[in-house]
Structure 1
């Protein structure tokens, strides 16, 4: 089921709250994997997406990582949440939403990076000092929290 389509079919373009996840996938060089999105907003950002109806947040993180990167992730650690004014999006199709997002971190991943050319245009690991400028504010909050040493994570087995 596409939860957002299900909601939009019932309420149209009115503003809604949507729950989702972002995942900071960190490599052995303490670099973060970012995705250059092929869908709105067309920016660099964290891996993640919207939770489907009845789906556990951790399962959303695992599913979205696989769909957007081709990677299998595990050993997720909770980073925190974002919500409020910085998490508002007015889409080109007139849909409006505030995102309530749970952030996770992992250094435990396997597989090969795969770009689908649709939702994901490019995947690349970045150091904190070399992050692209066009990252959504809500993603920047998670990045700043992790890289400023305010978060701990489970190490890969």
Structure 2
């Protein structure tokens, strides 16, 4: 049982503060890797996930990207830290949480695609003028901030 599951077994669905990492993975054409998620159905986001005990934020980013995509990433650059969201997030199972999301950027990745079908339907590199319609609220904020300062 992982840290989050163990914590949830103690507190149930009550609100928690959870720390996670996401990665803006850019290809050589300036597109950003987007993940079409299983949950919530029909929504897109950035690859990433929640921190486990003993991990650094960078470790979390690397592990989550590998688990979800099969890609190895490195040369992570801190983009921004997002916290204090006015609205609580609610997971599919009813778990409530306030996210602290540490976002990174990288253009360095390798490996073979190995999409985790439990979490993802697909991944696509998308340009700023071809973004999906339904993007997770917190990830949309990160993506909009990133695109507002990037000239690609």
| Secondary structure of residue in 2 paired with 1:59 | helix
Structure 2 gaps of 5+ residues are: none
Shift of 1:4: 1.1
| Secondary structure of residue in 2 paired with 1:6 | helix
Deviates more, 1:91-100 or 1:22-31: 91-100
Distance (whole Å) between structure 2 residues aligned to residue 64 and residue 56 of structure 1: 12
Task: Name 1:47's counterpart in structure 2.
Answer: 47
Q: Is the 8 A contact 1:87 1:99 kept in 2?
A: no
How many residues were matched structurally? 151
What does 1:7-156 correspond to in 2, within 5 Å? 7-40=7-40, 42-85=42-85, 88-149=88-149
Q: TM-score, with normalisation over the residues of structure 1? A: 0.89
Q: Is the 8 A contact 1:113 1:123 kept in 2?
A: no
Distance (whole Å) between structure 2 residues aligned to residue 105 and residue 42 of structure 1: 24
| Secondary structure of residue in 2 paired with 1:148 | helix
Task: Name 1:154's counterpart in structure 2.
Answer: none
Q: Is the 8 A contact 1:72 1:109 kept in 2?
A: yes
Structure 1 stretches (4+) deviating beyond 6 angstroms? none
| Secondary structure of residue in 1 paired with 2:30 | coil
Shift of 1:38: 1.5
Distance (whole Å) between structure 2 residues aligned to residue 44 and residue 124 of structure 1: 10
| Secondary structure of residue in 2 paired with 1:85 | coil
| Secondary structure of residue in 2 paired with 1:21 | strand
Distance (whole Å) between structure 1 residues aligned to residue 127 and residue 150 of structure 2: 17
Distance (whole Å) between structure 1 residues aligned to residue 135 and residue 86 of structure 2: 12
Shift of 1:69: 0.7
Instruction: Give the superposed CA RMSD.
Output: 1.8
Shift of 1:147: 1.4
Deviates more, 1:105-114 or 1:23-32: 105-114
Structure 1 gaps of 5+ residues are: 152-157
Deviates more, 1:77-86 or 1:123-132: 77-86
Deviation string 1:5-31 (CA, Å, 9 cap, x unpaired) is 111111111100000001000000000
